[in-house]
């Protein structure tokens, strides 16, 4: 499967540079403006959150963001519409949808995959569907060349890791702390060892996230990981300072990530 994700990670590898993955919530504030602004601020890949009423893997910041988005009327179809609007002027930056199975299943796996592909989506992280239960979803996504990105954690042993990375595409998302998003970062040396293990098992780029907030922290992770994901901090910056506040944070974080290996 070749799509914008493969192309982007190949480009980053050629420059010996880690990527910066920016997470934002569709429908929270002026989210279309933020989505459109992220590439110029330094985002190599965008994770677009699909708001859901019970985001069990997310911490307070993203839970609150999802609630604000839902109260503002954002839906899964609305999220796809934002991706489509972005794609009209940006043909290169990969978009990965991140969220939960319920809204997708309600739309239908096949209908969702078709609509996501039409909107220019490149990947999906569906946090509450384990590998043992994702056959139908994976088949639908594969039909439309959309990557199914799975998560590995510090508690994922070698046997489980083999299951997780089988049929994974795009990249593997390594959760640097057990628990919920925004909870803090694991020791950088431990993260480096874990990244190497996941890279060996998967043959795919590894993006590290969950709890990354500061440029120094992001840069340290970027020295070994293929990409660094920041979510809660961007969501908080957007809520506190609007698009300009979120842009400024993304610029600082992405600059640190991009300079980490120089």
pLDDT tens digits, residue range 109-143? 999 999 999 999 999 999 999 999 999 999 999 99
Q: Sorting pLDDT into bands at 50, 70 and 90, what band is 189? A: confident
pTM: 0.95
Backbone angles phi, psi at 249, to 5 degrees: -65, -45
pLDDT tens digits, residue range 206-224? 999 978 889 998 999 999 9
Q: Which residue bears the tokens 């506190």? A: 240
Q: Which residue bears the tokens 């190949």? A: 10
Determine whether 140 is exposed, middle or buried from the number of CB atoms within 10 Å of its CB (0-12, 13-18, 19+). buried
Whose CA is closest to 18, among 37, 44, 39, 40? Answer: 44
Q: Known catalytic residue: 47?
A: yes
pLDDT tens digits, residue range 10-34? 999 999 999 999 999 999 999 999 9
Q: Known catalytic residue: 58?
A: yes
> pLDDT at position 183, please?
41
Q: Which residue out of 28, 30, 44, 47 is catalytically annotated?
A: 47
Q: Which residue out of 28, 44, 58, 122 is catalytically annotated?
A: 58
> pLDDT at position 116, please?
99
């Amino acid at each position: 499967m070749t799509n914008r994700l493969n192309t982007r990670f190949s480009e980053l590898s050629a420059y010996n540079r880690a990527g910066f993955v920016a997470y934002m919530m569709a429908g929270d504030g002026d989210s279309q403006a933020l989505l459109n602004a992220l590439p110029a601020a330094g985002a190599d890949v965008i994770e677009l959150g699909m708001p859901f009423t019970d985001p069990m893997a997310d911490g307070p910041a993203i839970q609150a963001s999802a609630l604000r988005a839902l109260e503002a009327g954002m839906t899964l179809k609305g999220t796809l519409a934002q991706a489509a609007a972005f794609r009209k002027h940006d043909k290169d930056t990969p978009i990965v949808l991140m969220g939960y199975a319920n809204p997708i299943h309600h739309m239908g796996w096949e209908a969702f995959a078709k609509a996501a592909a039409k909107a220019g989506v490149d990947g999906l992280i569906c946090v509450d569907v384990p590998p043992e239960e994702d056959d139908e979803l994976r088949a639908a996504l594969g039909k439309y060349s959309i990557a199914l990105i799975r998560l590995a954690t510090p508690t994922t042993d070698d046997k489980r890791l083999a299951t997780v990375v089988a049929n994974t595409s795009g990249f593997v998302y390594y959760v640097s702390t057990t628990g919920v998003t925004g909870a803090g970062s694991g020791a950088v040396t431990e993260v480096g060892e874990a990244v190497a293990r996941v890279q060996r098992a998967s043959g795919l780029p590894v993006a590290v996230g969950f709890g990354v907030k500061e440029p120094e922290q992001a840069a340290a992770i970027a020295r070994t990981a293929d990409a660094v994901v920041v979510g809660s901090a961007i969501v908080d910056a957007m809520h506190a300072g609007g698009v300009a506040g979120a842009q400024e944070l993304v610029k600082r974080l992405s600059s640190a990530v991009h300079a980490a290996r120089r």
